[in-house]
Chain A
Amino acid sequence: MKKVLGLAFVLMTMFILVGCAEDEVKELQMLWWSDGTEGTVMQTLLDQYFEETGVTIELVTVPYADYETRLATMISGGEAPALARVTEGHLNNFKAQIVGLDDVYDTEGFTNLFYNADGDVISLPMDITANGLFVNLDLTEKYNVNLPTLTDVWTWAEFETEMSKLNAGLDDDVIAPGLFDHQGHRFMPLFYQHGIDLWDTPYTVSNLKSTQAVAVVQMMMDFYDEGFLGEQTYVTKNSASLFRAGGYGFHMSGNWNVSGYQNLEFDWTVVPMPQGTERATILGGKSLAAFQNEDGVVKASKKFIEWMAEGEQHDAYTGGVPYLTPRLGAEVDYGTFADQYEVFLSEIAATDAESVDDWLAQVMIPGMYPIINTFVENLANPDRTKTALELLTDLETALKAVAPTA
């Protein structure tokens, strides 16, 4: 009898405690990944938020490769995080599971907003990303590579000529003139740089099989075949760590690596990407989103987003990493990275608005990223059997198969 009473007492206490905990949510989870110092900077802000409000937000860091899967399993497991850092791709895939943020913050002050099917804004833009070109100054200086300036940008032909000078060091300190990231996303600006928009009419008529497109793809294939681009990219699938170890003259990547490259053993900088008929980069951006959850959690999430959207906190994030800011009118001090960010800003300014819109349409295709990844991986494969045109045709077919109708 005593045992039963004792057990009942324990159970009751547990229920009470659990019930209390659910009333006012004092602890949230934020899913996160970092390319550089994003996590550290966010953690500082979270600590600050705790001091101001007493609400703890736990930063749960997951490797980017597993990020989407983790998010999907958490949501279907009934354990959606309160908040998560998301790309446009994620926002697209998880649209229905994300909470609308109307009236949470002043959306007028931001660019790169994302909306759901009902027209509600579902993200707080945190940073803008742009593709760009990193160079290893130690190597380029040693082999007399002429680098471009903001006013004197090189063409792809000039880029190849200059960077090929690094071949002189192949037996010595050069593994290959340069690297691309393994993702298809890093290759896409090449289309725009040659004046090619992907879609003439989304998603029915594309320009992927045009002669210009074939020429661009062929150029890329030649880069790999001639050893201009490092072959280790598709072995390690981590070009950033390859570049970090030295031995490569350039790394085609994006501004998220600026903070990631803070402590490199060699001198580096960012230079303008080569142009075809024009300059172009691809814009992206990470945002913060709140996921469907119990009311208490959603309320607390919205409160945090409101806080985060305020100029002081938001600029602390973009300035701390540092990143390009989506907050209009913000003055970000890039500190030691001012020169590098100047280049990125100039890339963005030089990009044709039409190209930007075209890319936005492309991003709307669900499952687009794995498709372009396979496409670019085939370009790098020394044992490939298909021609550039055949690969582009496959790409077009695959994209059309999954593209949204109307």
Chain B
Amino acid sequence: MKKNIWTNYLIAALLVVVFLVPVIYILLSSFKPINELFTNTPAFFPRKWTFDNYRGALATGNFTKYIFNSFIVAITSTFLAVIINTMSGYALAKFRFKGDTVIMIMILSTIMLPLEIIMVPIFQVLKFFGLYNSLWALIIPPAATPTGIFLMRQYLLTIPDEIIQSARIDGASEWKIFTKIILPNAKPAIATLAIFSFMWRWNDYVWPLIAISDPKKYTLQLAIANLTGEFGTDYNSVLAISAVSMIPMLIVFIIFQRQFVQGTMDSGMKG
């Protein structure tokens, strides 16, 4: 029995190394001076700690602007996402109506579509609606996420029908039911959706690639992708910026870790 437990701990520790060490190594590497990076005998820890890479990266671009843009997009889109996806989840969870399966299949099928292959048409649609080169293009379209809808639907299924019915009998309007009953009762799922939405928008690359041409409106991931193209094997700035880009997600993750895990579990339980 004891042997079993110890092998479990051994495997668990090994996995920690596999999953955590690469990330830590990148963080450490971002503090190494150039000569310690471009050597074929790299050490794990920096022999000489330096902020040069960070200073260099910040000097080459408006990285504070990019971080700011990413924040604005992530937060605004999350607000929108919570509202519209909860509405849709509610409709799919608590109503039987004509075409509900068709709509569900349609929503599911959009997961299959990689945006990269419809970039040109999306771009033309954005242009038609005046959204080209606007941060709104990064906020509105991605807010409708099938995963989000199903997440909310799963959770809302668990709200007892009786509460809703009795509110209806009392003469409450559907919108009032939604705002006064559904939303408050869905807080855990909403928290999860909000956190996922923030993460997805923060890490978004394709939408900004399609929609933004003005460097002032770049988001962080787009800026990083541009950097790697330009510098090729000049890793110092790339490492620093990559490290920086992980920080907000790290903070969000540490605080809301339970919601992430719970949310993934819930969305996966019953198909």
Contact = CB atoms under 8 A, between A and B. Distances in A.
Interface of A: 60-63, 65-66, 70, 73-74, 76-79, 236-238, 240-242, 245
Interface string B24-53: 000000000000001000000000000000
B55 interface: no
Given A77-B132, A79-B133, A66 B229 contact: yes
Contact of B133 (A77, A237, A238): A77
Q: Determine which residue in B126, B213, B229, B230 has the highest number of CB atoms from chain A within 10 A of its CB, and name it.
A: B213
A129 B148 CA distance: 53
Which 7 residue pairs are nearest across A and B when measured between Cβ atoms? A238-B232, A77-B132, A241-B232, A63-B229, A77-B127, A63-B230, A74-B213
Contact of B229 (A65, A76, A77, A242): A65
Contacts of B229: 63, 65-66
Given A63-B226, A63-B229, A238-B233, A76 B123 contact: yes
A245 B233 contact: yes
Contacts, number: 43
B215 A237 contact: no
B234 A241 contact: yes
Interface string B221-255: 00000100111111000000000000000000000
Given A65-B229, A78-B127, A78-B132, 12 more contacts: A61-B215, A62-B215, A63-B229, A73-B123, A74-B213, A76-B124, A77-B126, A77-B132, A240-B232, A241-B233, A242-B232, A245-B38
A236 B238 CA distance: 15
Contacts of B126: 77
A15 to B, nearest CB: 16
Given A70-B213, A79-B213, A241 B231 contact: yes
A74 B127 CA distance: 10
Given A63-B226, A79-B132, A245-B38, A236 B233 contact: yes
Nearest to B127: A77
A405 B234 CA distance: 44
A61 B230 CA distance: 11
A237 B127 CA distance: 33
